């Protein structure tokens, strides 16, 4: 399809999507809808809720940005710390971020837009800073291979109880869930083995209690029961419709999922969920029913997915109309950098 022929409808699509995104006021409550204000963050491709700093979310850009990780305050959308990783070379395609039970921030340089170009990929780890300020840290670099050959991936998840690292590969026909060794090592290759089948995934996150695994794609999301390192029953979550839907994380208390997107001043949308590992241990049963609804802080313009009315159905109304009317076009445009 010619680029010139796509220009006009693409512009119209972006206008519609802009109208569908939540407009978020500054200085709100933590862990609610917010907009990433930092002009340096244009391709937020992963999210992780801080374990040390309430209301703070760690994120990073996609490929070709450098060894940087940003701490964003959900109350204001402003960056409160920039971490520069030292000792990791030049990152290729950073796609995922997660925090382990050891207090380490794990960064997945796991993207492979040509589906098999890289013989190995990397995971970087550094301790979550106790103080939020710009800093340079020496990160540990782990070499990673897949037992069944190279592949593209955008989802890195560290189990909050066992510390084992998982990667979900990205393929439009369905990917795999890969399990790393019990402990990552620097002295040898860390081989990840396929232990489950997953849909087309752009990011994922474990619930704080480790009993659920949320996986999102461009148009949908599901929460899977997770036990003994294996996927169980799943239920749909009413994910928001976003321009480049490439990140998700649980809030630190497990009461909601936070859905993010790439793009300048991209919005992060809170969706309430059951079974997220709240302190009281309550949770859902994985009955296959759709769960969740956007939950803003009550301010005008907050608490919505695309076209969301306050009916708890998530991506409906305008979002559904956009998908139906221009979904095919969006799909063609979205396949940036091969399969990226």
Dmax over CA atoms of the chain, in Å, equals: 56
In total, how many domains does the chain have?
Answer: 1
| pLDDT tens-place string over residues 180-218 | 999 999 999 999 999 999 999 999 999 999 999 999 999
Does 14 map to a domain? yes
340 domain residue, yes or no: no
- Residue 68: give the domain boundaries: 3-334
Residue 286 forms part of a structural domain: yes
Asked whether residue 27 is domain-assigned, the answer is: yes
Residue 37 lies in a domain: yes
pLDDT tens, 113-151? 888 789 999 999 999 999 999 999 999 999 999 999 999
Identify whether 184 is part of a domain. yes
Higher-confidence residue of 193 and 282: namely: 193
For the stretch 39-91, pLDDT in tens is 999 999 999 999 999 999 999 999 778 999 999 999 999 999 999 999 998 99
The pLDDT assigned to 297 comes to 43
Q: Residue 339 domain-assigned?
A: no
Question: pLDDT category, 280, cuts 50, 70, 90?
Answer: very low
> Nearest 10 degrees: CA dihedral of 29, 47, 203, 118?
170
Q: Residue 291: what pLDDT?
A: 58
User: Looking at residue 264, which CATH number applies to its domain?
Assistant: 2.120.10
pLDDT tens figures, 240-268:
999 999 999 999 999 999 999 999 999 99
Query: pTM above the 0.85 mark?
Result: no
């Amino acid at each position: 399809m010619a680029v010139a022929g796509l220009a006009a409808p693409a512009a119209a699509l972006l206008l519609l999507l802009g109208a569908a995104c939540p407009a978020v006021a500054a200085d709100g409550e933590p862990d609610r809808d917010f907009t990433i204000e930092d002009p340096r963050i244009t391709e937020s491709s992963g999210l992780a809720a801080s374990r040390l700093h309430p209301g703070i979310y760690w994120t990073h850009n996609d490929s070709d940005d450098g060894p940087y990780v940003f701490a964003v305050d959900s109350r204001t959308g402003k960056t409160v710390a920039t971490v520069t990783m030292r000792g990791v070379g030049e990152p290729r395609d950073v796609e995922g971020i997660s925090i382990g039970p050891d207090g380490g921030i794990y960064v997945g340089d796991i993207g492979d837009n040509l589906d098999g170009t890289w013989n190995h990929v990397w995971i970087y780890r550094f301790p979550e800073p106790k103080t939020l300020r710009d800093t340079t840290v020496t990160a540990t670099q782990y070499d990673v291979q897949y037992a069944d050959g190279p592949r593209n991936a955008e989802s890195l998840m560290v189990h909050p109880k066992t510390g084992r690292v998982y990667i979900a590969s990205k393929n439009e026909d369905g990917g795999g869930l890969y399990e790393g060794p019990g402990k990552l090592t620097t002295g040898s290759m860390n081989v990840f083995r396929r232990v489950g089948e997953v849909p087309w995934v752009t990011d994922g996150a474990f619930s704080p209690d480790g009993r659920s695994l949320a996986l999102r794609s461009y148009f949908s999301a599901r929460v899977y029961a997770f036990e003994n390192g294996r996927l169980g029953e799943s239920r749909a979550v009413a994910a928001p419709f976003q321009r480049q839907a490439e990140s998700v994380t649980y809030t630190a208390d497990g009461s909601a999922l936070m859905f993010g997107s790439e793009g300048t001043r991209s919005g992060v949308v809170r969706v309430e969920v059951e079974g997220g590992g709240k302190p009281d241990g309550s949770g859902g049963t994985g009955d296959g029913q759709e769960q969740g609804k956007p939950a803003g802080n009550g301010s005008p313009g907050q608490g919505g997915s695309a076209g969301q009315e306050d009916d708890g159905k998530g991506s409906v109304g305008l979002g559904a109309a956009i998908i139906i009317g221009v979904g095919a076009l969006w799909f063609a445009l979205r396949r940036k950098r091969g399969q990226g």
